[in-house]
């Protein structure tokens, strides 16, 4: 069995859907899907259900695109409520979410920790105040569409929702992680600001994570930290932890000749 990861499938794009449907069977293997599957809940449920027939186990964390309120006929106008619906849909297909008990990777016992920690605009230069961050990004037209497509209600905004998610995740980790456990941390966003290298959209960083998670790889003894969101595939190392950015991305950002299978990142080798 192997542990694979991919992120940013962006299935609203026809070519990405076709690519996914061409993926083979991996009956022994597990797959991490690190967010940005799509915006529509129906398509999300269909895609996760399909993936559970291709892999032995599927683990999902939300990206910003799942939280977008662009679904037609959506009952709710809050991304917080939409997240709850996404978790329910994932659970109906047997997919593990950040709201479920942690599971260990059987060959090594490393604990897989799916995260929903969001962003709070703290990935910004020291001389830019929080109140000025959107205007600062707007100068280079780098403002994320999240600003008008995500609602954090009943929280005041993303800063408060992100803080609550980080508090709750820290409490759960303190309570549920066995002492001396090694972890595989899985989130949509990179845990550290120094992993965000997006020179074409340099002022997009405020929408890319939170400084709250800066030392989580050390604190939670992570062997690997998996993320997506940047659409810049990379492997980095910090303090002995491997950081894997595993995005597929928008149609022009991947090569159909390689297939989606060519973009599955091996997180844990065959065992």
Kindly write out the interface string for residues 198-237 of this chain, putting x where it contacts Fe ion by CB under 5 A and - elsewhere.
-------------------------------x--------
Of positions 36, 110, 120, 244, contacts Fe ion by CB under 5 A = 36
3-state SS class at 156: coil
Q: For the CB of residue 174, give the shortest distance to Fe ion in the complex, in Å.
A: 28
Q: Work out whether 120 is an interface residue with Fe ion (CB under 5 A).
A: no
Is residue 29 part of the contact set for Fe ion (CB under 5 A)? no
Q: 3-state class of 11 per DSSP?
A: coil
List 64, 183, 227, 241, residue binding Fe ion (CB under 5 A): 64
- Per rule CB under 5 A, count of chain residues that contact Fe ion: 5
Q: How far is the CB of 263 from Fe ion (least distance, A)?
A: 13
By CB under 5 A, residue 245 contacts Fe ion: no
User: Residue 66 interacts with Fe ion (CB under 5 A)?
Assistant: no
Please tell me whether residue 42 adopts helix, strand or coil conformation.
helix
Distance CA 147, CA 266 (A): 33
Alpha-carbon dihedral angle through residues 124, 130, 131, 137, given to the nearest 10 degrees:
10
Where would I find the beta strands (DSSP E) of the chain?
3-6, 26-33, 55-60, 103-104, 111-114, 183-186, 222-227, 234-238, 241-245, 265-268
- Give the residues lining the site for Fe ion (CB under 5 A): 8, 36, 63-64, 229
């Amino acid at each position: 069995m192997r542990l694979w990861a991919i992120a940013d499938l962006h299935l609203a794009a026809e070519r990405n859907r076709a690519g996914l449907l061409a993926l083979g069977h991996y009956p022994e293997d597990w797959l991490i899907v690190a967010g940005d599957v799509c915006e529509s809940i129906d398509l999300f449920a269909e895609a996760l259900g399909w993936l559970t027939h291709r892999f032995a186990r599927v683990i999902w964390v939300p990206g910003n695109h799942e939280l977008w309120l662009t679904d037609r006929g959506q009952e709710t106008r809050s991304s917080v409520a939409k997240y709850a619906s996404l978790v329910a849909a994932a659970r109906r297909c047997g997919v593990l979410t950040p709201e479920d008990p942690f599971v260990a990777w059987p060959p090594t016992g490393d604990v897989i920790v799916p995260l929903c920690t969001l962003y709070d605009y703290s990935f910004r230069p020291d001389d830019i105040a929080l109140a000025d961050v959107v205007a600062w990004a707007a100068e280079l037209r780098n403002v994320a569409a999240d600003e008008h497509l995500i609602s954090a209600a009943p929280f005041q905004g993303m800063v408060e929702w992100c803080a609550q998610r980080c508090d709750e995740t820290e409490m759960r980790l303190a309570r549920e992680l066995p002492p001396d456990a090694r972890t595989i941390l899985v989130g949509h966003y990179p845990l550290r600001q120094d992993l965000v290298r997006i020179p074409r959209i340099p002022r997009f960083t405020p929408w890319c994570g939170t400084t709250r998670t800066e030392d989580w790889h050390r604190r939670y003894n992570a062997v690997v930290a998996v993320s997506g969101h940047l659409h810049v595939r990379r492997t980095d190392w910090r303090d002995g932890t491997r950081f894997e950015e595993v995005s597929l991305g928008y149609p022009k950002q991947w090569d159909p000749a390689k297939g989606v299978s060519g973009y599955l990142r091996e997180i844990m080798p065959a065992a």
